[in-house]
Structure formats: C-alpha cells, structure tokens
Amino acid sequence: MPRNQQILLDNRPEGEATASNFKLVTTETPPLQDGQVLVQHHFLSLDPYMRGRMNAGKSYAQPQPLGEVMQGGIVGEVVESKHPRFQPGDKVVGMGGWQQYSVVDANQPGALRKVDTTHVPLSHYLGAVGMPGVTAWYGLVKIIAPKAGETMVISAATGAVGSAFAALAKARGCRVVGIAGGPDKCKYAVDELGFDACIDYKVHKDANSLSKALKDACPAGIDGYFENVGGMVLDAVLTRMNAFGRIAVCGMIAGYDGAPLPLTYPALILVNRLKVEGFIVSEHMEIWPEALAELGMLVGTGKLKPRESIAQGIEAAPEAFLGLLKGRNFGKQLVKVH
Amino acid sequence: MPRNQQILLDNRPEGEATASNFKLVTTETPPLQDGQVLVQHHFLSLDPYMRGRMNAGKSYAQPQPLGEVMQGGIVGEVVESKHPRFQPGDKVVGMGGWQQYSVVDANQPGALRKVDTTHVPLSHYLGAVGMPGVTAWYGLVKIIAPKAGETMVISAATGAVGSAFAALAKARGCRVVGIAGGPDKCKYAVDELGFDACIDYKVHKDANSLSKALKDACPAGIDGYFENVGGMVLDAVLTRMNAFGRIAVCGMIAGYDGAPLPLTYPALILVNRLKVEGFIVSEHMEIWPEALAELGMLVGTGKLKPRESIAQGIEAAPEAFLGLLKGRNFGKQLVKVH
C-alpha cells in the first residue's frame, strides 16, 4: 500500500485560475482487486484543455468533479498486477491523473496501454507520440486536408501540438508559419522545429498589426489554420485566409478565464467560403493508430524533435499548470513524479 | 432598336443603401452581331447578395461597377436572334440585369438558358427552381447533410431560399423551424410552407430571449442551421446547436450596411464540435441539374408553393430592393418589367 500524494480540485476558479483552487493530500493506494493494476506514475501531462474542465459550465466533457484527483494523462510503470495482460515493469500510458500512483481497472477498454520505449522515450507518449501529436494530426489531415504548396498557420506554435503540426505539415510539402509568444520561442520554432517563419504575437497590440505581420509571413495568403488560442489571433488570421480556407478549432485558451472573446468579422467565413470546424481528438479513436505510426516515425527519424518543460515533483503541478496557461512553458509541459 | 430603360449604380452607399444610389436612364439596344440574342425581360430578380456587391470592399465577387447597369438574374423572351440555338418566342433565364432588354452573347457558357414553362411558371426560374432554390439545396444537402429526425433551422424563413429549404428538409424527414420577422410571416411559414414552427425574431430584444424561444421550438436541440442573417440570430442559434451540428453560411444580411457584427461566443464551435461553412452556389455548378430536378418536382407536385412579391415597372426596382433588405417582401421579390 504505497503512500500516494494527490492533487485535488478544491474549488472552481472565479476568472483566472490560481494555486488556491488545488489541494495536495496524502492517501494510501487501496489493495488491488481482480483485473486491476497498480501504476507508479513517472510523468503527468499538463494540457490546456484541463482549464476548461475546471469550470462548472456546460462543455464537451463533464466538469472535473470537486474534491477529486485532477484528471489527466500519465505515463508510468506497472508495479503490481492482478490482470493477465500486465506485468510489473511494463511501461504504460493511462489517465491516472495528478497523483503518484493509480489503481486502474485494466479491463476497461483504453484505460491502460503498454508502450515500447526502445525508440521513443516514455515521456513522448504524452506529447509528440500521444494525445497532442494525434490532435495535430487530426486537425491537419482530417479537417484542413492540406495540398503541397499551401500555407499552414498554427498558434501556440512551440507547444506539443504546434511542434508536431509543423513536422506533419512540412512532410506534406506545405509552408508552415507559427505564432508564438516571445523572441526565444519564435527563434526555436524556426531553428529547431522547421517552421518557415514565426510571428511573436506579443509585439502586436491589436489584430490589425498582427494581420500585417501575417501578410509578410504568408505572401500567398493562408490556406489552413490550426486554432489553439482564439481572440485577437483568430481575428487577425481570418483577415488573411484564402478562399476555400479551412480552420481546425482545437482550443480557445484566450477565452478560458471568463469573459467570452467575440469573433469580430464572422462575415469573412462567407466572403472567403471558409470551413471552420471544432473537434476533440478523443472522439476519433479510429485514426489514432495511423496518426501514432506517422508521429513515431517522425520522432524516430529525427524529423520531429519535441522539447519538454519538466516540473519536479507532484507538488509542483499546480504552478506548472498555471504557467502553461500563461505560455511560460517551452514545448510539452510535464511533471516528473518518480 | 427598342428603347431600353436601365437602372445604373450611380454611387456607393455610405451605411444604409438608399434610392439615391441608383439612377434610371433610357438608351436604345444596340444592333445584334453574330451569335447574339436580344432578350425582352419579363421579371428581374432582386436578391440580398446584391447589397454586398454595392460596396467597394473586397468580397467574393468583383464589386458592381459604378455607372453600369445593376447586375442580376432575369427571365424573359427572345425577341430577335442571331444565334442558331435561340428563336424568337423562346423563354429564357439569364443575367441581363436591371433593364428592360439585354443583348446576350449566347456563345458564352451559361449566359442564357432555355426553360420549359409547361409545368413551372416562368418567374419561378428566378426563385424556387432557380438560384435561391439551388442555394437552399446546396446548403442543406451538401453542407448540413441532414438525417431523418434531425432538427433544421433557417433564418429569413419565408424568403425564396427559406421556402425551398423547408420543402427540401421535410422531404428528408426533418423537423424544420423557421425564424422570420412578424406574425404574418410566421403564420404563413407554418400554414403554407410546411414549417413545424416559426419564431418571430422581432418580439425578442436580445439573443438570450431568442435563445429561449429556440429551446421551446427545438426541444431536441438544433442539428443544422442555414444562416441568412447573422448578428443576434446567429448568436442565439449557436447556444442551441447540438454536438456535431452543421451551419451553412449563405448570407449575413444584418451586417451588410457597415459596422461588422461580431459573433459573441465563437468558443461554442469548439465546445459543440460544430462545422461552420460558407458557400456561394454559383461556384458549384455541378450540382445544379440534380438540385433543379428535385426543386422542379417539388413545385410540380405542389409540395413547394412559393409566394412572390412583385413590384411593377423597372422604375420600382430600387425601392423594392431596399424593402427586401428590410424584410418588407413576402416570398421571392421580383420586378415585372414587361
């Protein structure tokens, strides 16, 4: 019965999320029943979607329940098993949440998946070769459906989704332009991630100014846009979309803290005959094998070199998460717990 | 050389369009050259898209040139022909514009089309069995792609597009709810056009109030929405869309006069995984034959009984057009010129 530190959602944010919304508690893991597996977590995944689930309002998923362990993806190692398919030492990906251990009912479909760490480091299964990578793949391949020579743009360009998006779009012969916060991230996007250009949105005070920068970076206009942030960035991109452009809407992090951010020129959807489509990658499990195969190949051949920001210790998770929402991370944000 | 009264665009609107933007002139039709046809116009079509083209700004089409005849669809009769495929007396559909006669280069593909008036009155080729009907067909069939039992909503419900949309959606086993202005239009939508319910947007002072009315009229939520107006109506409909709903964006008449109308909650596109797609029916000529065949059948069998508002005389076109923009028409707005 190992001692298990956990982070619970203690209360819901009013406006901006803060560390006081979370509570650290210590319990013991319960004894295993038949079909269950005890997983020691190595890394927790921190992802922007978690902010939306901290609110009580209607969203695509049930809100994160109060007083329960923050939900989220983990990678780790089986330490005890009462399920024939899992043995101690197996490396696994699951949804164990913000804690040091989880007890998993391994008969539940998709609850726990064994992974091979020969060519892909374990932590990457939470990023480039995991949910964020597949998210980039679905938005690019299934919604945007790019043609060689087209121009693709993505916001939050140096995050886990953005870096995978760049590699996938370059592999399809596209020009890829990122939008990120700060000169370091923009330099990294171009030097390391393969972006053809990257725009620092922080030097632009309004959508009009950002739109001019996009015009320079996208001389042939924008054919596909992968939306992670909403607000001013979306307004600016819409003014540069080509006729028959496609926008995959994956996140609107700028509006998560309260006041909704309006879209200033919705008529551009008509004027430019755009397709704008929202999606959640967990609703499209049928494409995961194909997507993971391509992402694994890109990582294995060095064409996708994802960076990670790693916070140390379970107690660091809340501050690391709040930093992620403010864009303080550099690449995939993880928490190392063992 | 018949005397030909014409309406020109004299100057561009600043804000709301007015009669002073137009000018009536009288000319003579030029002598025919080989391959040309002289068409006497019977009816002019007035359509909301023309308002967008009166502005100078970037849009999907070139702006209507100043000092030239207002462009638009017509039906009429060939009175003289130097083209072997057309004979005097032929009933035709063309793009002759706001004038009493047009000289058409009949070799230009799609410039002039002979129509059969045995079962379909000539004027309907500008409405239910013409561009507006095909517009409804494309948005419903190709973008919304409804399933039997789903709930469809359309704004500007009693217009030429709305009435065709209702018949097409009922034929596919859907619940169809209209949004229109005033109790007379709403009664007509339900009594004559086959809508299951119709909401008078004029009694709702804001999107919140309209959203409540939509909840009552669409107890199972909204799966498909055909957008003609934008603004408050779009905001209200978005709050009632079901997961995986589809929105066909055909017009945003509420924003044509100047100040852009923002979309208040774009994050709902993500929350409900919506697809929002703008289109222009003239870019999809490949579907016209299939669409016209179904629309002709619906009219011929009495399942689609389109109403027309007919203004008398070419000089009445500007006021009739301005009335259309304010929703004063009842059904398809035409001008009878001969």
Statement: residue A327 has pLDDT above 90: no
Query: Residue length, chain A?
Result: 338
What is the pLDDT, as a whole number, of residue A127?
Answer: 95
In this structure, the answer to whether residues A21 and A90 fall within a common structural domain is yes
Q: Does A264 touch chain B (CB under 8 A)?
A: yes
- My answer on whether B116 and B146 are in the same domain is no
B21 and B136 in a single domain? The answer is no
CB distance B280–A269 less than 8 Å?
A: no
Mean pLDDT within B213-221 = 98
**What is the C-alpha separation between B333 and B307, in angstroms, rounded?**
9
| CATH number where B47 lies | 3.90.180.10
Q: Is residue A299 part of a domain?
A: no
Residue A266 at interface with chain B, using a CB cutoff of 8 Å? yes
pLDDT band for B58, please (50, 70, 90 cuts).
Answer: low
In degrees and rounded to multiples of 5, residue B318 shows phi and psi of -60, -45
- Asked if B266 lies within 8 A of A277 by C-beta distance, the reply is no
Of B255, B265, B275, the CB nearest to A275: B275
pLDDT exceeds 70 at position A257: no
Instruction: Establish if B31 belongs to a structural domain.
Output: yes
B287 inside domain: no
Q: Same structural domain for residues A208 and A99?
A: no
Q: Where is average pLDDT lowest: A129-138, A251-260, A293-302, B75-84? A: A251-260
Q: Give the whole-number percent of chain B exceeding pLDDT 90.
A: 83
The answer to whether A44 and A334 are in contact (CB under 8 A) is yes
Q: Are residues A150 and A258 in the same domain?
A: yes
Q: Per the domain annotation, does B167 fall within a domain?
A: yes
- What residues contact residue A205 under an 8 Å CB cut-off, 6+ apart? none
Contact A274 B273 (CB under 8 A): no
Q: What is the mean pLDDT of residues B182-194?
A: 95
Residue A59 has pLDDT above 70, yes or no: no
In this complex, is the C-beta atom of A260 within 8 Å of any C-beta atom belonging to chain B? yes
Instruction: Report chain B residues whose CB lies below 8 A from the CB of A241.
Output: none
- Please list the residues that pair with A333 across neighbouring strands: A309
Question: Do B249 and A269 count as a contact with CB atoms less than 8 A apart?
Answer: yes
pLDDT in tens, B233-262: 999 999 999 999 999 999 776 666 667 788
**CA-wise closest residue to A47 among A324, A335, A329, A331:** A324
**And the tokens for A128?**
């480039």
Query: Are A266 and B264 an interchain contact pair (Cβ–Cβ within 8 Å)?
Result: no
| 3-state SS class at B32 | coil
Q: What are phi and psi for residue A35, nearest 5 degrees?
A: 90, -5
* A258, pLDDT greater than 70: no
- Residue B202: what pLDDT? 95
Least CA distance to A243: which residue of chain B?
B60
- Cα separation, A235 vs A215, whole angstroms: 14
Lookup: tokens for B180: 């229109």
Q: Domain check: are B101 and B155 in the same one?
A: no
Q: What is the CATH number of the domain that holds B219?
A: 3.40.50.720
Contact A159, A195 (CB under 8 A): no
The H or E element spanning position A296 is helix A288-300
Residue range A122-139: mean pLDDT, rounded? 96
Indicate the residue type of A227: E
Cross-chain Cβ contact A275/B280 below 8 Å = no
pLDDT in tens, A286-314: 999 999 999 999 998 999 999 999 999 99
Alpha carbon distance A177, A146 (integer Å): 14
Handedness of CA A137, A138, A139, A140 (dihedral sign): positive
Based on the fold, state whether residues A148 and A164 are members of the same structural domain.
Answer: yes
Question: Hey, are the CB atoms on B273 and A283 less than 8 Å from each other?
Answer: yes
- Where residue B177 falls among pLDDT bands split at 50, 70, 90? very high
Indicate yes or no: CB of B265 within 8 angstroms of CB of A260.
yes
B261 touches chain A (CB under 8 A): yes
Cα B197 to Cα B176: distance, rounded to the nearest angstrom: 7
Pick from B162, B153, B173: nearest CA to B133: B162
CA pair distance B192, B207, nearest whole angstrom: 27
A31 Cβ contact partners less than 8 Å away, ≥ 6 residues apart: A1
Choose, out of B49, B244, B261, B270, the residue to mutate when testing the contact with A (most A CBs < 10 Å). Answer: B270
In this structure, are B199 and B117 located in the same domain?
A: no
What is the C-alpha to C-alpha distance for residues B48 and B64, in angstroms, rounded to an integer?
A: 14
Phi, psi of A293 (to 5 degrees): -65, -45
Does residue B235 sit in the same domain as residue B155?
yes
Supply the pLDDT for residue A203: 97
Cα A217 to Cα A211: distance, rounded to the nearest angstrom: 10
**C-alpha span between A233 and A162 (Å, rounded):** 15
Q: CB–CB of B106/B86 below 8 Å?
A: yes
DSSP label at A62?
A: P
- Its domain, for residue B234, covers 131-282
Cβ contact A271–B230 (<8 Å): no
Q: Which of A58, A275, A280 sits opposite B273 (nearest CB)?
A: A280
DSSP letter string, B215-261: HHH-TT-EEEEEESS-THHHHHHHTTEEEEEEEEE---GGGTTSS--
3-class SS of residue B106: coil
Q: A22: part of which helix (H) or strand (E)?
A: strand A22-28
Separation CA A157–CA A170 (nearest Å): 14
- Least CA distance to A239: which residue of chain B? B58
Mean pLDDT of A143-160: 96
| ipTM given for this complex | 0.84
Buried b (16+ CB within 10 A) or exposed e, A166-193: bbbbbebebbbbbbbbbeebbebbbeeb
Between B331 and A9, residue with greater pLDDT: A9
Q: How many structural domains is chain A composed of?
A: 2
Cα distances (Å, whole numbers) of residue A233 to A50, A219, B71, B274: 21, 18, 37, 20
User: Is the pLDDT confidence value at B109 over 90?
Assistant: no
- Cβ distance A317 to A310 under 8 Å? no
Residue where the block lists tokens 């992090």: A253
CB atoms within 10 A of CB B205: 9
Q: Per the domain annotation, does A296 fall within a domain?
A: no
Give domain status of residue B297, yes or no: no
Mean pLDDT of chain A: 94
Please give the Cα distance from B25 to B6 (Å, whole number).
5
Nearest to B60 among A273, A275, A277 (CB): A273
Query: Do A329 and A254 have their domain in common?
Result: no
Do A194 and A265 have their domain in common? yes
User: Do the Cβ atoms of B189 and B158 come closer than 8 Å?
Assistant: yes
pLDDT tens-digit map of B253-297: 666 666 778 898 898 999 899 999 999 998 999 999 999 999 999
Mean predicted lDDT score pLDDT of chain B = 94
User: Which of A60, A273, A278 is facing B279, going by the closest CB pair?
Assistant: A273
The shortest C-alpha distance from A338 to chain B (Å) reads: 35
Q: Is the residue at A114 inside a domain? A: yes
Do B113 and B135 fall within a single domain?
no
User: Residue A133 — pLDDT band, cuts 50, 70, 90?
Assistant: very high
